[in-house]
Amino acid sequence: MPPPVGITYNLDVPEITKLVPRRRETWLEICTAGESIRLPADKVPSGLAAGTRLDDEQWAGLCAQSEFWLLQDKAVSILARREHFRRELEIKLGRQCRDRDLIRRVLDECEEMGYINSRRAAELTVQTLLNRGGLGTMRIRQELIKRGCPRELLDEVVAEAAGDRDEVTEMEALLNSRRQSLRSRLHRTKEKLAKKGLTDTRLEREVRQQLEAAVLRLLNGRGFSGDGIYKLAARFAAELISEADGGE
């Protein structure tokens, strides 16, 4: 097994005992009598073989290279699963390694190779959120900020994504998907308030206000904002109440 990233190595190395191919020979494990390190096969110095003796400086150099390439390999593995912003990847690598300078060098390498691209990450993140549905522009902004989208890119990407969106349609679709749960909330609210002995007029007002508030919390929680949500909440609440009254 490769040594954990960031450990302190024993530099008293008499000689290389063996080289073991790993990962279908794309990596080599360089073994000594007491420890081992791993390097990509194409990064192993030519001529290195079992029986090779290294001085402290040479071994330290190989150990440093191993740390870099193991962490870089971890970064590429994370990026293969989905796009990441630099800051987001930095946080994840920080859980593997405490050497901030090493992390910075790995991130620089990933950016130079094109593995990290903030615009690409932002656009794909927005598209994924839009495909999920039921999210307002504010929630999309929050998700981008949370993941580490650079501020100078944030407004531009959100504006591009929101340009063709009809948030009223998005909100209506969300509310319709929650229609049954909101209808159940309406019945529970009416039953609870009815026990207080309120007049019919006050009961109707309290039920409407509480249902509208529940709808607003749902919309706000999903990142929708603006004056339009109040009109929609009132209209949707009135619709549910009308449906309930017609079924009684």
pLDDT in tens, 75-118: 999 999 999 999 999 999 999 999 999 999 999 999 999 999 99
Hey, what are 109's tokens? Answer: 């390498």
| pLDDT category of residue 12 using cuts at 50, 70 and 90 | low
Task: Round the average pLDDT of the chain to a whole number and report it.
Answer: 91
What band does 152 get if pLDDT is binned at 50, 70 and 90?
Answer: confident
Reading the block at residue 50, the tokens are: 């079992």
Length of the chain (residues): 248
Does 7 score more than 70 pLDDT? no
Say which residues have a Cβ less than 8 Å from residue 94's Cβ, sequence separation at least 6.
Answer: 100, 103
**With 90 as the cut, is the pLDDT of residue 177 above it?**
yes
The span from the CA of 186 to the CA of 182, in Å, is: 6
d(CA 242, CA 248): 10
- HEC secondary structure over 184-208: HHHHHHHHHHHCCCCCHHHHHHHHH
Section 26-54 average pLDDT:
94
For the segment 59-64, the average pLDDT, to the nearest whole number, is 94
With cut-offs at 50, 70 and 90, classify the pLDDT of residue 166: confident
> Letter for the amino acid at 162?
A
**Cβ contacts of 30 within 8 Å, gap of 6 or more:** 16, 19, 36, 37, 38, 39, 44, 48, 62, 66
Token pair for 37:
């390190």
pLDDT value at residue 187: 94
- In the prediction, which pLDDT does 5 show? 53
Alpha helices by DSSP H, listed for 7-150, are 56-81, 86-94, 100-112, 118-132, 137-147
> What is the average per-residue pLDDT within 28-49?
94
- The stretch 29-49 carries a mean pLDDT of 94
Residue predicted with more confidence, 208 or 12: 208
- pTM (2 d.p.): 0.78
> Among 180, 172, 183, 165, which Cα is nearest to 129's?
165
- pLDDT score at 124: 93
Q: Once rounded to an integer, what is the mean pLDDT over residues 57-74?
A: 95
- pLDDT tens-digit series, residues 181-204: 999 999 999 999 999 988 989 999
- Burial level of 193, CB count in 10 A (0-12/13-18/19+)? middle
Between residues 151 and 109, the one the model is more confident about: 109
Q: Would you state the pLDDT for residue 247?
A: 58
Q: In what order do the strands lie in the sheet with 18-22?
A: 18-22, 27-31, 36-40
